[in-house]
Amino acid sequence: MADRLLVVDDEPSMREFLEIFLAQDGYEVVTASSGEEGFKVYRELEPDLILTDVKMPGMSGLDLIREIHALDPSIPIIAITAYASADDAIRAVREGAYDYLSKPFQIEDLRIIIRNALEARRLRRENVELRRSIDEQHRFGEIIGKSPQMVEVFNLISRIASSKANVLVIGESGTGKELVARAIHKRSSRADRPFVTVNCTAIPETLLESEMFGHLKGSFTGAVANKQGLVEAAHTGTLFLDEVGDISLSIQAKLLRFLQGREFRRVGGTDERKTDVRIIAATNKKLEKEMEEGNFREDLYYRLNVIRIRLPPLREREEDIPLLMDHFLKKFAAEQAKNIKKVSSLVMRVLCNYHYPGNIRELENIIERCVTLEQSDQLTAENLPPKLIEGAHVTSGPLGDSDIPYDGIDLNRTLENVERDLINRALGITAGNRSRAARLLGISFRSLRYRLVKLGMDQEENSH
């Protein structure tokens, strides 16, 4: 399909000339005689490239560029100026024009600029599509990962989503068990129906039965009206039992009865009620051990554990850490309106080597903290939680060599190496910011500058 070009010019002869010339080059050409008409045609036809005169009555070419780029900054616009007006050309480029031509111009120059602009647009689109494709490969709903363990989880979710079987998701706190439950729900035939969560640890045991199954007015102190339970609220949808391993044995018995026939009674009631729900449960406990200790019913366990999904802790999927870091960085930078695009190499090294007892939730909190405190355009190590820096062996150097060899040492040279190593570490932590590095080292900026020159570490100073 030929590229569509929009020509906007108030001079009929120029419009006609450009239309004939561009059509001969194989483009589909539409024209407009004013900025207002050009904007209307742009909204209707969405051309691939626009050529516009700058000086026009009413909406000028500069106004047109400004209005179009407010809607689509990626569309290439070539400005045509009269009499080699440098000011008009500069203003057009500032407003977002890809390039400009001054009347009279060479046909070959126009041909080259159009070809280059369209090629640049194509490359941008391909890059966007490539990035989207890569993101989709590493993302499954809200779950992010490319490690073999997570790919296996993604495949299992796809295979079981359409079934009605109960699912048990196991994994440490912070591994994303609820995200897995939501991913299953969204890929099932129940996707447009309710997804209801029962947080088994957040609801007191005395209220959990009422929250799950509802109650009748007057069934206990404070029951001032009939209340529908979460089981009923999830009718035709999915009921997610979060941290099911924490519920008491008495509630386990009632849950087992419900699972056997999807029938229940409200607290204080005698009528049997039925509901159609798919059950997904999650726990961070080892239920086999809980059964051995008498804390979890074996029959309930087998009812829940029809299909089992194990979520690995973050320390077992190290290759996913950079992906998650990038995701959280974009999320919190956008939320806080900060222009932070990357992390320093030291931050990357520290975070990739950390063991994450709190798993993904802990990594998310770390990135949020760093984004909140960061004042530069990249995340620097000085904003990491102190325990991460203290526990990280980020570099090796003279400080680690405590033994004195038999043939002795050169003390001055050794001290210089120690000093150089500490300064390099401080500059690495602060991404080269000397003022912050000086504060980390407990010296003045002037003192740091002097030491850099003395140690031959300041090339700029030495070149003067």
Tokens representing residue 126 in the block: 């391909």
Estimate to the nearest angstrom the gap between the alpha carbon of 40 and the chain centroid: 36
For the beta carbon of residue 151, count every other beta carbon within 10 angstroms: 14
For residue 378, give every residue at least 6 positions away whose Cβ sits within 8 Å of its Cβ, in sequence order, or none: 340, 341, 342, 343, 344, 431
* Domain identity same for 306 and 331: no
Residue 460 has pLDDT above 80, yes or no: no
* Domain identity same for 287 and 200: yes
Q: What is the CATH number of the domain that holds 450?
A: 1.10.10.60
pLDDT tens per residue, range 172-196:
999 999 999 999 999 999 999 999 9
Q: How confident is the model at residue 404 (pLDDT cuts 50, 70, 90)?
A: low
Q: Stretch 430-444: mean pLDDT, rounded? A: 85
Q: What is the CATH number of the domain that holds 128?
A: 3.40.50.2300
Structural domain includes residue 39:
yes
Q: How confident is the model at residue 132 (pLDDT cuts 50, 70, 90)?
A: low
Which of 145-154, 199-208, 216-225, 298-307 is modeled with the greatest confidence? 298-307
For residue 201, give every residue at least 6 positions away whose Cβ sits within 8 Å of its Cβ, in sequence order, or none: 242, 243, 246
* Domain identity same for 203 and 286: yes
How many Å apart are CA 97 and CA 166, to the nearest integer? 58
* Domain identity same for 239 and 337: no
Q: Label residue 247 exposed, middle or buried (CB < 10 Å: 0-12, 13-18, 19+).
A: buried
* Domain identity same for 69 and 203: no
Q: Which residue has the tokens 């449960």?
A: 281
Residue 288 has pLDDT above 70, yes or no: yes
Q: Is omega for the bond preceding 104 within 30 degrees of 0, making it cis? A: yes
| C-alpha pair distances (Å), 273 with each of 227, 258, 449 | 14, 10, 78
Are the C-beta atoms of 167 and 280 separated by less than 8 Å?
A: yes
Best CA proximity match to 48, nearest among 15, 28, 75? 75
* Domain identity same for 386 and 405: no
How many Å apart are CA 367 and CA 374, to the nearest integer? 10
Tokens representing residue 290 in the block: 């809980």
* Domain identity same for 306 and 321: no
Q: How confident is the model at residue 387 (pLDDT cuts 50, 70, 90)?
A: confident
* Domain identity same for 158 and 294: yes
- Structural domain containing residue 431: 401-462
Q: What's the structural domain count of the chain?
A: 4
Structural domain includes residue 417:
yes
Return the percentage of the chain with pLDDT > 70, whole number: 91
Domain-terminating residue out of 256, 281, 312: 312
Mean pLDDT of the chain: 87
Are the C-beta atoms of 231 and 212 separated by less than 8 Å?
A: yes
How many Å apart are CA 370 and CA 364, to the nearest integer? 10
Q: What is the CATH number of the domain that holds 245?
A: 3.40.50.300
Domain-terminating residue out of 342, 357, 391: 391
Structural domain includes residue 139:
no
For the beta carbon of residue 388, count every other beta carbon within 10 angstroms: 16
Domain-terminating residue out of 391, 416, 431: 391
Q: What is the CATH number of the domain that holds 322?
A: 1.10.8.60
> Which stretch of DSSP H or E encloses residue 332?
helix 321-335
Residue 130 has pLDDT above 70, yes or no: no
Q: Stretch 49-66: mean pLDDT, rounded? A: 92
* Domain identity same for 168 and 215: yes
Q: Stretch 147-160: mean pLDDT, rounded? A: 92
* Domain identity same for 160 and 269: yes
Tokens representing residue 154 in the block: 């993604």
Structural domain includes residue 422:
yes
Residue 334 has pLDDT above 90, yes or no: yes
Structural domain includes residue 213:
yes
Structural domain includes residue 412:
yes
Structural domain includes residue 396:
no
* Domain identity same for 326 and 415: no
| C-alpha pair distances (Å), 15 with each of 85, 97, 115, 394 | 20, 19, 19, 64
* Domain identity same for 268 and 197: yes
pLDDT tens per residue, range 72-96:
888 999 998 876 567 777 888 888 8
Structural domain includes residue 138:
no
